[in-house]
């Protein structure tokens, strides 16, 4: 299917709404039937028909069709946030007494799900260094049901060899889930490598403007319908029609945004890699990165996130650098129009336990600004680091 067709036409039935170019926001909780026979049909055919917006809604359905097609999936189901998509996908694959192998250092709340939430319900999780697939195979137990990936992962952007992890899963009768938010559905399509469920935080690149939250899970019709009947309908983390509409609007420009972000990020990274005040840059698309060949093999392009460590152990200098940036906002998240930093130093208060990551580590996201405008800002801020 052509990318242009997916983003501009697929799922849109304009003849049903006055040939409006933009889809309507069907802000309704329920859908009426004329006869008992109609209602009986609706009750029997959910989710193919529209009955109640906690189940499905036509505006949300348009988004689901488009993202499913972008991932090469049969079907997709949208949620009110990325973490709702993570939780529903994971819960759909396990029962009490089961075991999961999960990549180490995933997104913060995925980590909380794995380490604090699931053990309360009798699901045991082993966290592994995903840079070597052998760590996944070594962690397999007789009750392992699920191998969970996030490639690249959060903060340090380490890759898992997706095809190799899938092979381990298949040998051991396990399913696989990957959080594909970093790459967006344009830069990596894990279903091609045999992954069972692919999910995104739509809040990031799909929305693209820092004004909406959402999540989505893609897979076979059978697996998605099973999630619909159980986790989705029971936990109720539903996406609103208005948010789906904003995400459809975000999708229209996803290719141009990703292209701009990819090129700008490479420019900013190569400047930082040569800078004497920067210790290390974590970016899998640098030829010097140990996983560069794997990145080139399983991804189409880089995205806007990377991390640096500054050439200082002095937290005051790290803070001075961050505080003096004029054009990078300091905030959580990424994927919007605006460039961001997230300093690990912010998760540390004096006297408290040090975080797992070094205090001189700063995560970056490059947005849609002119890269030279951002580089100039970085250069002035780096003067606060005295080596
Ligand atoms: C932000 C994020 C999530 C969670 O998404 P929300 O929309 O904030 O709930 C999940 N995975 C990754 C990799 C993320 O960056």
Ligand 1 centre to CA of 261 (Å) is: 19
Same domain, 18 and 68: yes
- Out of 109, 235, 340, give the residue to mutate to test ligand 1, the one with the largest number of ligand atoms within 8 Å of its CB: 109
CA nearest ligand 1 atom 6, residue? 82
71 lines ligand 1 (CB under 6 A): no
107 lines ligand 1 (CB under 6 A): yes
Instruction: Summarize pLDDT for 82-109 with one digit per residue, the tens.
Output: 999 999 999 999 999 999 999 999 999 9
Whether the pLDDT of residue 303 is over 90: the answer is yes
Whether the pLDDT of residue 387 is over 80: the answer is no
Q: In whole angstroms, what is the distance from residue 30 CA to residue 56 CA? A: 10
81 lines ligand 1 (CB under 6 A): yes
Q: How high is the pLDDT of residue 94? A: 98
Residues in the chain: 387
Closest atom, ligand 1, to C-alpha of 84: 9
Rounded (10°) angle between helices 241-252 and 58-70 = 40
Average pLDDT, the chain: 96
Ligand 1 centre to CA of 40 (Å) is: 38
Closest atom, ligand 1, to C-alpha of 202: 7
Q: In whole angstroms, what is the distance from residue 252 CA to residue 199 CA? A: 19
Same domain, 277 and 205: no
Same domain, 244 and 379: no
Domain of 162, CATH number, reads 3.40.640.10
Same domain, 147 and 265: no
365 lines ligand 1 (CB under 6 A): no
Whether the pLDDT of residue 245 is over 80: the answer is yes
CA nearest ligand 1 atom 8, residue? 82
- 349-358: long-range pairs with CB below 8 Å, 24+: 356/105, 357/155, 357/156, 358/309
Whether the pLDDT of residue 42 is over 90: the answer is yes
Ligand 1 centre to CA of 46 (Å) is: 28
pLDDT-above-70 percentage for the chain: 100
Domain of 289, CATH number, reads 3.90.1150.10
Same domain, 239 and 325: no
111 lines ligand 1 (CB under 6 A): no
Same domain, 298 and 353: yes
Same domain, 18 and 140: yes
Count of alpha carbons within 13 angstroms of residue 302, beta-carbon side? 28
CA nearest ligand 1 atom 5, residue? 82
What's the pTM?
0.97
Q: In whole angstroms, what is the distance from residue 50 CA to residue 52 CA? A: 6
Q: How high is the pLDDT of residue 367? A: 98
Same domain, 242 and 268: no
87 lines ligand 1 (CB under 6 A): no
Write down which residue in 227, 252, 277 finishes a domain.
Answer: 252
Whether the pLDDT of residue 351 is over 90: the answer is no
DSSP structural state of residue 347: G
pLDDT category at 71 given cuts 50, 70, 90 is very high
Closest atom, ligand 1, to C-alpha of 83: 9
53 lines ligand 1 (CB under 6 A): no
Q: How high is the pLDDT of residue 334? A: 97
83 lines ligand 1 (CB under 6 A): yes
Same domain, 156 and 282: no
Instruction: Summarize pLDDT for 313-346 with one digit per residue, the tens.
Output: 999 999 999 999 999 999 999 999 999 999 999 9
Q: In whole angstroms, what is the distance from residue 205 CA to residue 254 CA? A: 7
The residue segments making up the domain with residue 106 are 3-252
Same domain, 269 and 366: yes
Write down which residue in 217, 252, 287 finishes a domain.
Answer: 252
181 lines ligand 1 (CB under 6 A): yes
Same domain, 13 and 153: yes
Same domain, 117 and 53: yes
- Out of 154, 155, 201, give the residue to mutate to test ligand 1, the one with the largest number of ligand atoms within 8 Å of its CB: 201
* Partners of residue 52 on adjacent β-strands: 30
Q: Hey, what are 200's tokens? A: 């995104």
The contacts of residue 216 (CB under 8 Å, 6+ apart) are 63, 64, 67, 76, 77, 78, 79, 85, 199, 200, 202, 206
Instruction: Let me know the angle formed at the C-alpha of 312 by 306 and 318, rounded to the nearest 5 degrees.
Output: 65
Ligand 1 centre to CA of 83 (Å) is: 6
Whether the pLDDT of residue 79 is over 90: the answer is yes
Whether the pLDDT of residue 235 is over 90: the answer is yes
Whether the pLDDT of residue 215 is over 80: the answer is yes
Please state the φ and ψ torsions of residue 90, each to the nearest 5 degrees.
-65, -50
Instruction: Summarize pLDDT for 162-195 with one digit per residue, the tens.
Output: 999 999 999 999 999 999 999 999 999 999 999 9
Q: How high is the pLDDT of residue 48? A: 86
- Cα–Cα distance list, 80 to 232, 237, 299 (Å): 11, 5, 27
- Out of 78, 80, 81, 82, give the residue to mutate to test ligand 1, the one with the largest number of ligand atoms within 8 Å of its CB: 82
Q: Which residue has the tokens 């996944």?
A: 136
Number of domains in the chain: 2
Task: Give which of 323, 325, 318, 335 is closest to 386, Cα–Cα.
Answer: 318
Q: Give the Cβ contact number of residue 358 at 10 Å.
A: 15
């Amino acid at each position: 299917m052509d990318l242009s067709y997916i983003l501009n036409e697929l799922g849109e039935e304009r003849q049903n709404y006055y040939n409006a170019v933009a889809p309507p926001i069907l802000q309704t909780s329920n859908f009426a039937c004329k006869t008992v026979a109609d209602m009986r049909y609706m009750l029997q055919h959910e989710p193919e028909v529209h009955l109640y917006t906690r189940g499905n809604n036509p505006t949300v359905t348009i988004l689901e069709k488009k993202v499913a097609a972008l991932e090469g999936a049969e079907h997709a189901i949208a949620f009110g946030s990325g973490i709702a998509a993570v939780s529903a996908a994971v819960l759909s694959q396990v029962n009490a007494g089961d075991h999961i192998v999960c990549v180490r250092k995933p997104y913060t709340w995925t980590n909380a799900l794995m380490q604090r939430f699931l053990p309360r319900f009798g699901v045991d999780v082993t966290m592994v260094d995903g840079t070597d697939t052998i760590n996944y195979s070594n962690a397999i137990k007789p009750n392992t049901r699920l191998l969970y990936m996030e490639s690249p992962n959060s903060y340090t952007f380490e890759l898992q060899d997706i095809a190799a992890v899938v092979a381990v899963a298949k040998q051991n009768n396990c399913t696989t889930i990957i959080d594909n938010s970093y790459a967006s559905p344009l830069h990596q399509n894990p279903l091609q490598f045999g992954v069972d469920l692919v999910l995104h935080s739509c809040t990031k690149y799909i929305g693209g403007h820092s004004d909406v939250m959402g999540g989505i899970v893609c897979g076979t019709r059978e697996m998605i319908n099973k999630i619909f009947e159980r986790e989705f309908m029971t936990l109720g983390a539903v996406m609103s029609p208005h948010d789906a509409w904003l995400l459809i609007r975000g999708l229209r420009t996803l290719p141009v945004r990703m292209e701009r972000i990819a090129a700008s990020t490479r420019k900013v990274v190569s400047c930082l890699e040569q800078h004497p005040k920067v210790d290390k840059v974590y970016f899998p698309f640098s030829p010097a990165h140990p996983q560069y060949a794997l990145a080139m093999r399983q991804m189409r392009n880089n995205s806007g996130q990377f991390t640096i460590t500054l050439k200082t152990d002095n937290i005051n200098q790290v803070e001075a650098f961050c505080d003096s940036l004029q054009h990078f906002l300091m905030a959580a998240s990424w994927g919007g129009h605006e460039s961001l930093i997230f300093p690990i130093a912010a998760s540390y208060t004096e006297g408290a336990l040090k975080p797992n990551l070094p205090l001189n580590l700063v995560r970056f996201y490059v947005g849609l600004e002119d890269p030279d405008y951002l580089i100039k800002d970085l250069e002035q801020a780096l003067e606060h680091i005295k080596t």
